[in-house]
Amino acid sequence: MTSALDSATLLPGCGRAIKLIGMKLIGSLASPYVRKVRVVMAEKKLDFQLVLEDVWGSDAILQSNPLGKVPCLVMEGGEAVFDSRVIVEYLHYSLADIALGCVTGYLDFRFPDVDWRAHHRHLARHHDKLAVRPSFVDTAPPKA
Ligand SMILES: N[C@@H](CCC(=O)N[C@@H](CS)C(=O)NCC(=O)O)C(=O)O
């Protein structure tokens, strides 16, 4: 079965250095909302594929965003995030997540005797949420 994204126009990602997740941004080159998201992604050096769609005549957008609007960010697993403000928030949060999860993971790895959880319960909750995500599980440092 061919998905809407497969049949759409694909452009190389605009990010340059880091490929964090296989993200696709459904958009149009004329949309200022799409541009806003592309600028944020470029500034954060996030790699993604820009999928161009006709905002006035594409069912493909509706498959990911029931509002039929762009931008719509589609994750590797197919989950979609839409509305440029939500996407920008999501990207920011996502990067913060990654940094945070890596730091606390490193603490556990290198300094298992440091009980940072006792004094940082919110951080511990964040850590536990992140630690079960496939991206964190797959890249976790070796167990002692
Ligand atoms: N509040 C939305 C606005 C998005 C929006 O209006 N996008 C326009 C393109 S610039 C669109 O997809 N229009 C198609 C439609 O309204 O059906 C956002 O910030 O993402």
Instruction: Enumerate the domain spans of the chain.
Output: 4-82, 94-139
Mean pLDDT value across residues 7-18? 39
Assigned fold of 4-82:
Glutaredoxin (3.40.30)
Task: Report the residue among 70, 87, 88 best suited for mutation to probe ligand 1: largest number of ligand atoms under 8 A from its CB.
Answer: 70
Among left, alpha and beta (phi > 0; psi -120 to 50; other), residue 73 is beta
Q: How far is CA 52 from the centre of its chain?
A: 18
Which residue's CA is the nearest one to ligand 1's atom 19?
A: 84
Reported as a single tens digit per residue, the pLDDT across 24-41 is: 999 999 999 999 999 888
Q: Would you say the CB of residue 85 lies under 6 angstroms from ligand 1?
A: yes
- Which atom of ligand 1 is nearest the CA belonging to 68? 17
Please report, for residues 44, 95, 109, the alpha-carbon distance to residue 138 in angstroms, rounded to integers and kept in the order given. 23, 17, 15
Q: What DSSP state is assigned to residue 142?
A: P
Reported as a single tens digit per residue, the pLDDT across 108-129 is: 999 999 999 999 999 999 899 8
Q: Would you say the CB of residue 69 lies under 6 angstroms from ligand 1?
A: yes
